[in-house]
Structure 1
Amino acid sequence: MPGPPDLLDALVLLDAEGHRVGVPALRRVLTDVGADGAPGWTRAPALGTVLAGELWDIELHATVVDWLVRTGRDTGSPLTIRLGLAQRAVSAVLTGDFGQAMAAIAEEEAIADAVGDRPQLYPRVHLAAMRGRRDEVLSLFAEVTGRATGQLTANAHWATAVLHNGLAEYPAALDAATRAVEHGDLFLSGFALPEQVEAAVRCGEDAVAREALESLLARTEPAGTPFALGVGAGTRALVSGLEDDHREALDHLTGSPLVMHLARTHLRYGEWLRRAGRRREAREHLRTAHEQLSEIGMEAFAQRAADELRATGEVARSRSGQVLDDLTMQETHIARQVAGGATTKEVAGRLFLSPRTVDAHLRNIFRKLGITSRKQLRDVPGLGQGPSEGAVV
């Protein structure tokens, strides 16, 4: 019997008629409340995380992820909680909270180990790429290639493109980004297209850059979120060379939770200003970019900003080591939980460890951080938690 459009109808529209027609239908299906009083995405939450990315809607993505984590805990479903934790790590990477990403990855891996399954690889790939860890990304890429699945492989290509753009290795970034977008995967293609444009521009492949930009704007303009419009304008600036596009990107992204995109926008604008001979203005944006990227822990992009700043005649301030740099992912998770007030027994239950093992990890954490008590742990920068995180992650 005919009825209101459902998720399949919306996906068909997206595929057959493009984003201008498909995005409004998709948003209605995902967000409209049904007869059961629940929004549409609750009937397909795993797909909902992907489609929230396709809509460039970071708030919707966070809502779905929180629901998955809570539901996984309430029902005891390993599959649901692991999906929620993996996606929470992805969300934390996008918002520049690498500590939360590491904690979520550690817990997902602990649950995977407890049920005798392999952990999810894509959150690790995302995090390593944003941190600029070449050896880790390439090692994970080799492992991904061994598993040989479409979405996972596309994730690895996207991450490799991010890594090489951060390292200013643009031919390698262009090759990886081109591979990431070639199958048109939901979520991933849209996020990889800016990497393809940036690498293509730096390589002098103008036709490739224009084609990729057109494909990106076909996604971001119908989405219409500040995230989408900011990324679209910032990427367009690389091709157009217009200052207004750089400024528009900053306007959309300033004040958003997407601090790593904002920092990269400052970096690109600073690079443009320096090449235009406006060194004083360039220093302001490059300094901001370097500070933000260093604080987040995006080491390769921070170094790129420092090199650009040096070219203007100013030496970037060396950053102090990140608090989390010396901790493993499991230690980061334990530290964050204890800093949030969790007991040894509670942490042990979440990580399927004995309390004695958790206490041994805590001693190691204290040694690495140069502290001696749980009270001091609460005051360590970078380990703070939001009001609800201790109850959810």
Structure 2
Amino acid sequence: MELRGRHRERDTLDRLLRDVRAGHSRVLVVRGEAGVGKSALLDYLTGHAPAGRVLRSAGVEPETELAYSALQQLCAPLLEHLGKLPEPQREALSTAFGLSSGRPPEGLIVGLAVLGLLAEAAAGQPLICVVDDAQWLDRMSEVILTFVARRLDSESVALIFGVRGAQLAGLPELVVEGLPEAEARLLLDSVLPGLVDAHVRDRIIAETRGNPLALLELPRDLSPAELAFGYGGQRAAQDGSVADRVEATFQRRVEALPADSRRLLLAAAVEPVGDVPLLWRAAARLEIGPAAAAPLETAGLVELGARVRFRHPLVRSAVWRSAAAGDLRAVHHALAEVTDGDRDPDRRAWHRAHAAIGPDEDVAAELERSAGRALARGGRAAAASFLERAAELTLDPEARAARTLAAARARFASGAVAAVPELLAAAELGPYDPVRQAGIERLRARVAFTVNAGRSAVNPLLEAAGKLAVLDPAASRATYLSALGAAANAGRFAPGDLRRAAEAARNVPPGDEPAGRLLAAFTAWSLDGHAAAAPLFTRALASVSAESDLDLQWMAGMAEHEVFDDAGFLSRTERTVTVARREGLLALLPSALTFRATALLYAGRFADASDLLDEAEALAYATGPSPHPATAAILAAHRGRSGPALERIESLRSEAEEGGVGWLLGVAGYARAVLHNGLGDYPAALAAAREATGHEDLAVFRWGLGELVEAAARTHEMDLAEEARDRLAARAAVVEGGWARGTRALADALAGPAGRAEEHYREAIEQLATTRLDLQTARARLLYGEWLRRENRRADARLQLRPAYDAFAAMGAEGFAERAGRELLATGETVRKRSTGVRAELTSQESQIARLAAAGRTNPEIGAVLFLSPRTVEWHLRKVFTKLGVTSRRELANSGS
């Protein structure tokens, strides 16, 4: 194939192929407008691919609502490797593709299975996967392929997409534009019939902007007079994109065909698979004979060979969009009649749905069954489309409302939250049914909390909770709990909302379920204060399970901070991530990873926390939900690098103001106070800590009080330090545990009677050492060492400052490490800069793999945790062994990695 003027593009594709031959994986999105030559470049790629397997798939506009349609087309030739996958992945992929029945698979498990399938297929030879027209991928295929694209590494797999539009953002891309003018002229001359007026040629070049398809097709639409004497008039003045004009050209060519040929072409456009025998069976139903095909091929619009192949996707869309409604229904009806209902029931149902003129209960019931099959395969978006169409075809008001509500639930589960309110409004038009109305209100509340869990969610949640009080008391309590969570998030932006929500919640009957217990605790916290709420928090936390109460984990985690339960918080976050990984919960995992990172941060495991935040961010690109921004800012503050930390904090403030989430302003103030305390800039830390404690934000207020005590004591603002100490001590006094007692003792050491300072420092270190909060223990040692040094007890000071410095350096808390190092120097000790170990030599991903391997995990187990193929894990481990100078996992474990 000759590609005119595409030297840059060919170089990019040739480099990609060389990398894949060398054993690397590569991903590329070939992006450009319709007709610009994307498919020609993909043909060039596959024609020059190394000896190996080449797979091609394409999105098809009529298939966008059928779950996994494009993904299954791509993976079908690779199913011989299915048996090599771990059982959970094998079962998930088999269920998703309808090869077997099973539990509805979550997207992450399917994505990991596809990743493994590609890796196995590429084990002996490179694998080239090309997905054209990706703008028409069904939702699940797009999500899974985006996930896989972000996790490919060293499998010798190339995954290349052709797309027009904004899909697949964030992946490496090659933007394809029109041909340079010289090449465009040569291409145009190749199709012009003899001599053409120079002004006409210039006008065509200018208006097509070098688009190859337009250069080839638009001149066909010009009369001889226009070509000879001037390209102008009405056609030249047409508005619209080049693609619109080319599509209009195709439409005119279609309109010139005989009636039977037009109908045959329409049937080919509507039938998405390109099945020629099926097409001819449908044609027979439409009383169209074989002679109708000849004008289509003469016009160069379509080829009917082994498969149906259109001249360009714009031909298909031109035929489909310009068809009369009656003709379109007739074609769908014919296709439905010839589609095997046993082998392909969903496509048959979809054709029947489009053939229906008015309400049809038989078709609606068939669509409802298709929705059930789609849900069983994890295709929530497809199920929603089936149910929406089923509701449109339903005459009975009650059944119509029930199907509409089911569609709303499926849309919500698919992540298309914006489509849900309109469906809920339609569901309410049906006859009143208390059970259905309760379902509507529950879903409306979830939508409100999902769209914005801050100020704007409070009123919708309270309204929904009030309506549910009679219909479903348990759902009402859960919704009131969400309202309290939203009000707590709103914080200083809506200071009266928390009390208003809590007062309303007290009117609902109490419940003994986990949400009911948490509601009672948070209501007491809002109205009666921390002391009254503490025992209720403890009782509630005992009932909230990470396995069955996933929606409650955020509130439970905040409660654990309120009652100083470090063991519970560490355990809960670990279990939540485990469940989210095991079940492949796309929507939950990014927030669960961020939640876990917070726990690891306070445990002093900065490297692990950073790894989880990186993973959460990568997953969010593919799945949609963004990881919570607070943890990244807090981690940056503890690392002590002023520039990056302040950038994160300012970004947090902007997000807080944009979303009406005052809680994030509290976090921003706390993070800034940590940063400046670590750097020894106590006046700045004091100002930030006062901002953090200016509103009693959930959990953050207590964190801020600790920073305020330290900053005020260091700036000799003792009245302020004592006030903050008293408020912190009041919270710690009503709970048990080393975290509470250590926190209180440390505050007493800083702001209590000078004669008892050493006693309190020792108690703080002793109590915090019983926890897993290594960061807090190191900070207590630093403060005690500084006090000892000021007391001129240098030898004793070194006994505290040395372990504090070593701990901070190992964690990566550079600001606190430098502060400890300065104090050590003041005691007369030489300070040598410590290496932070494996992180200095290994990448983030390598260090994560090294730690898991050292813990005894197998390659498939590590791959399942990190969403990598086992082959990529093996490749990274070889690099880890080389960098660390070890030859086995046992040596890796002994190296301390």
Distance 1:2 1:290, change over 3 A: closer
Distance 1:348 1:113, change over 3 A: farther
Q: CA deviation at 1:230?
A: 0.1
- Kept in 2: contact 1:246–1:269 (CA 8 A): yes
Equivalences for residues 140-155 of structure 1 within 5 A: 140-148=648-656, 149-155=661-667
- Kept in 1: contact 2:810–2:835 (CA 8 A): no
Do structure 1's residue 60 and structure 2's residue 568 form an aligned pair? yes
Give a deviation string over 1:266-315, Cα, whole Å, max 9, x none: 11111112222222222222223223322333222122112112212222
- Kept in 2: contact 1:113–1:119 (CA 8 A): no
Question: Which amino acid in structure 2 is aligned with residue 330 of structure 1?
Answer: Q
Gaps of 5+ in 1: 384-393
Distance 1:321 1:82, change over 3 A: closer
Give a deviation string over 1:31-66, Cα, whole Å, max 9, x none: 158xxx999976722211111111110111123213
Equivalences for residues 172-321 of structure 1 within 5 A: 172-240=684-752, 241=754, 242-321=757-836
Percent identical pairs in the alignment equals 39
- Kept in 2: contact 1:253–1:262 (CA 8 A): yes
Give the root-mean-square deviation of aligned CA atoms. Answer: 2.9
Gaps of 5+ in 2: 1-508
RCO greater where, 1 or 2, for CA within 8 Å and sep 6 or more? 1
Do structure 1's residue 100 and structure 2's residue 608 form an aligned pair? yes
Question: Which amino acid in structure 1 is aligned with residue 720 of structure 2?
Answer: V
> Whole-Å Cα distance in 2 between the matches of residues 147 and 75 of structure 1?
31
> Whole-Å Cα distance in 1 between the matches of residues 845 and 570 of structure 2?
23
- Kept in 2: contact 1:107–1:333 (CA 8 A): no
Q: CA deviation at 1:375?
A: 6.3
Give a deviation string over 1:329-382, Cα, whole Å, max 9, x none: 33433333344455666555555556776667557656665667766544442x
Do structure 1's residue 15 and structure 2's residue 517 form an aligned pair? no
Among 21, 24, 46, the alignment partner of 2:535 is 24
> Whole-Å Cα distance in 2 between the matches of residues 38 and 272 of structure 1?
42
> Whole-Å Cα distance in 1 between the matches of residues 830 and 671 of structure 2?
29
Distance 1:367 1:155, change over 3 A: farther
- Kept in 1: contact 2:825–2:831 (CA 8 A): yes
| Higher deviation after alignment, 45-54 or 24-33 | 24-33
Question: Which amino acid in structure 1 is aligned with residue 790 of structure 2?
Answer: R
Among 112, 120, 124, the alignment partner of 2:620 is 112
- Kept in 2: contact 1:49–1:61 (CA 8 A): yes
> Whole-Å Cα distance in 2 between the matches of residues 191 and 367 of structure 1?
42
- Kept in 1: contact 2:886–2:892 (CA 8 A): yes
> Whole-Å Cα distance in 1 between the matches of residues 654 and 884 of structure 2?
37
Question: Which amino acid in structure 2 is aligned with residue 228 of structure 1?
Answer: A
> Whole-Å Cα distance in 2 between the matches of residues 38 and 100 of structure 1?
21
Q: CA deviation at 1:137?
A: 1.0
> Whole-Å Cα distance in 2 between the matches of residues 40 and 12 of structure 1?
23
> Whole-Å Cα distance in 2 between the matches of residues 2 and 259 of structure 1?
39
> Whole-Å Cα distance in 2 between the matches of residues 138 and 53 of structure 1?
25
Q: CA deviation at 1:133?
A: 2.3
Question: Which amino acid in structure 1 is aligned with residue 822 of structure 2?
Answer: D
Q: Could you state the TM-score of these two structures normalised by the residue count of structure 1?
A: 0.85
| Higher deviation after alignment, 145-154 or 134-143 | 145-154
> Whole-Å Cα distance in 2 between the matches of residues 320 and 3 of structure 1?
54
Q: CA deviation at 1:182?
A: 1.9
Question: 2:640 maps to which residue?
Answer: 132
Q: CA deviation at 1:328?
A: 4.3
| Higher deviation after alignment, 202-211 or 141-150 | 141-150
Larger radius of gyration: 2
Q: CA deviation at 1:91?
A: 0.9
Do structure 1's residue 75 and structure 2's residue 583 form an aligned pair? yes
Question: 2:345 maps to which residue?
Answer: none
Q: CA deviation at 1:92?
A: 0.9
Question: Which amino acid in structure 2 is aligned with residue 315 of structure 1?
Answer: T
Do structure 1's residue 329 and structure 2's residue 844 form an aligned pair? yes
Distance 1:43 1:354, change over 3 A: closer
Q: Could you state the TM-score of these two structures normalised by the residue count of structure 2?
A: 0.39
Distance 1:146 1:369, change over 3 A: farther
| Higher deviation after alignment, 8-17 or 262-271 | 8-17
Count of aligned pairs between the two proteins: 379
- Kept in 2: contact 1:31–1:40 (CA 8 A): no
Question: Which amino acid in structure 2 is aligned with residue 329 of structure 1?
Answer: S
- Kept in 2: contact 1:109–1:120 (CA 8 A): no
- Kept in 2: contact 1:32–1:40 (CA 8 A): no
> Whole-Å Cα distance in 2 between the matches of residues 314 and 38 of structure 1?
48
> Whole-Å Cα distance in 1 between the matches of residues 786 and 553 of structure 2?
40
Question: 1:389 maps to which residue?
Answer: none
Among 672, 683, 688, the alignment partner of 1:160 is 672
> Whole-Å Cα distance in 2 between the matches of residues 62 and 16 of structure 1?
28
Distance 1:282 1:258, change over 3 A: same
Of Structure 1 and Structure 2, the greater helix share is in: 1
Distance 1:19 1:119, change over 3 A: closer
> Whole-Å Cα distance in 1 between the matches of residues 606 and 680 of structure 2?
22
Question: Which amino acid in structure 1 is aligned with residue 785 of structure 2?
Answer: G
Q: CA deviation at 1:176?
A: 1.8
Distance 1:356 1:288, change over 3 A: closer
Question: Which amino acid in structure 2 is aligned with residue 127 of structure 1?
Answer: L
> Whole-Å Cα distance in 1 between the matches of residues 844 and 662 of structure 2?
27
